[in-house]
Amino acid sequence: MTQTLDNMKTDPQTDSRERSGGIGHLKHQFLWCFLTITLVTMGVGIALLIELGSGPQLDGTVNPGDAVTFLAALRWRIVLGAVLIIIAAGVVFLFLHARIARPMEKMAMAAGRMAEGCLGVSIPDHPSNEIGRIGTSVNGLAVNFQEVLILVWNQTEEAITKIRRTTRQMTPGCDEHVSPDIVVDLKSARQDLETMQMMVRSFDLYDVAIKDGDVLTAKNAADTIN
């Protein structure tokens, strides 16, 4: 098996289970959030029920003073319980915001820029849940797309050079055997190739720039301009 750093680090069984739709990190995180809210709410509810059970019995012999004190204490415990539930919900919200909402926002922004042809942006590949993995996959798509674009550029550049050379050798009047159709076809083919190059140029590439037909690193291209 070909080794990559990823398959050296991860347990292949866990990895394949997650890829095949088993319980992934995101499901675990949602489960923990659900359990936290449920346990806190249940805890508060049970504490209040116990408190109610230990209060004065409402059988007509209750001392009004005791009842007022008990109800005041119960009111405060209900407020405290509500505050605890709100704090737990706040913690869960902050966790979900940091681990899911924020990465999703960044991913949406980066993916939007990629869709507009800016392949230089990359989506952060953390957190280490399904969202992070989507980011890695989208980055991989952009890398492959850039590779294809540069390959198209290099191939078309070479083909255009060959067409130019051939066209120069077929100067009208020098070679009576050359059909005018061939010259027209070559010109048309060159125009097609140049259209493809225009399409490639309309993309912003990662760390690469096209300068005078050559593919250079962005730094070298900038140095050339300066």
Partner 1 sequence: MGKTILIVDDSSIMRKMIKETLKSAGHDVIGEAKNGSDAVALYQSLDPELVTMDITMRGMDGFEAARQILSGDREACIIFLSNLDEAQYSQEAKQIGAKGYLNKHRSKDILTLIEQL
Restricting to residues 150-189, name those near partner 1 by CB under 8 A.
Answer: 150-151, 154-155, 158
Supply the minimum distance, in Å, between the C-beta of residue 132 and partner 1: 15
Using CA atoms in the order 196, 198, 204, 207, what is the torsion angle rounded to 10 degrees? Answer: 70
Q: Is 144 in the site for partner 1 (CB under 8 A)?
A: yes
In whole angstroms, give the CA distance from residue 32 to residue 36. 6
Shortest Å distance, C-beta 25 to partner 1: 21
Selected binder of partner 1 within 110, 146, 190, 193 (CB under 8 A): 146
**Conformation bin of residue 201: beta by default, left when phi > 0, alpha when psi is -120 to 50:** alpha
Three-state SS string across 100-114, please? HHHHHHHHHHHHHHH
- When asked if residue 148 is in the footprint of partner 1 (CB under 8 A), the reply is yes
Between 8 and 47, how does the x/- string for binding to partner 1 read (CB under 8 A)? x---------------------------------------
Q: Does 4 bind partner 1 (CB under 8 A)?
A: yes
Site for partner 1 in 197-216 (CB under 8 A): 206-208, 214-216
Site for partner 1 in 103-122 (CB under 8 A): 122
Residue type, 100: I
Between 74 and 209, CB nearer to partner 1: 209
Is residue 217 part of the contact set for partner 1 (CB under 8 A)? yes
61 in contact with partner 1 (CB under 8 A): no
What is the sign of the dihedral through the CA atoms of 25, 29, 35 and 38?
negative
User: Can you read off the two tokens belonging to residue 131?
Assistant: 């969202």
Question: CB within 8 A of 152, min separation 6: which ones?
Answer: 196, 200
Q: In residues, how long is the chain?
A: 226
Cα-flanking dihedrals φ and ψ of residue 203, to 5°?
-95, 145
139 is a contact residue toward partner 1 (CB under 8 A): yes
State how far the Cα of 26 lies from the Cα of 57, in Å rounded to an integer: 48
Tell me how far, at minimum, the Cβ of 212 lies from partner 1, in Å: 10
With CB under 8 A as the contact rule, the residue among 67, 143, 182, 184 that binds partner 1 is 143
Q: Which residues of this chain interact with partner 1, rule CB under 8 A? A: 2-5, 8, 122, 139-140, 143-144, 146-148, 150-151, 154-155, 158, 206-208, 214-217, 220
